[in-house]
């Protein structure tokens, strides 16, 4: 089955630690995205990538980092510089970013700082 896989589903982080969220897609999509979802705030764009080895900051990139070494993979690292990392993180992909483009989402990772 084609789709997007995020892991883990739940993640707990201690203060001061970096953690990496995994996102893999087998849809052969060029574009990939990371969103953060907080109650009452909708989806906010953290980073996006239009093609391998290229990525751009979204609206709330501070405290996060990404890489795009392979087309199918777009991991997100939440660094200790992110002051309020507890949230639901969603990864998405689309064929590209031109014209009409449907985004396909993973099932999300819920990150909690303990």
Residue 63 backbone class (left: φ over 0; alpha: ψ -120 to 50; beta: rest): left
Q: Does 99 bind other proteins (CB under 8 A)?
A: yes
Is there a contact between 73 and 5 (Cβ–Cβ < 8 Å)?
no
Q: Write out the binding residues for other proteins, residues 31-60 only, by CB under 8 A.
A: 33, 35, 40-43, 45, 48, 50, 58
Residue 18 or 107 with smaller CB distance to other proteins: 107
Smallest distance from other proteins to CB 45, Å: 6
Structure tokens at 53: 């080895």
Q: Does 20 bind other proteins (CB under 8 A)?
A: no
Quote the CA–CA distance of 75 and 7 in Å, as a whole number: 10
Q: Does 105 bind other proteins (CB under 8 A)?
A: yes
């Amino acid at each position: 089955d084609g789709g997007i896989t995020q892991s883990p589903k739940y993640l707990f982080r201690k203060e001061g630690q970096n953690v990496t969220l995994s996102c893999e897609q087998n849809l052969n999509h060029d574009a990939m995205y990371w969103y953060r979802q907080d109650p009452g705030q909708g989806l906010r764009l953290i980073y996006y990538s239009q093609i391998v080895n290229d990525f751009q900051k979204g609206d709330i990139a501070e405290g996060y980092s990404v890489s795009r070494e392979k087309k199918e993979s777009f991991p997100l690292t939440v660094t200790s510089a992110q002051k309020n990392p507890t949230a639901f993180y969603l990864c998405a992909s689309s064929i590209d970013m031109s014209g009409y483009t449907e985004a396909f989402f993973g099932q999300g990772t819920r990150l909690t700082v303990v």
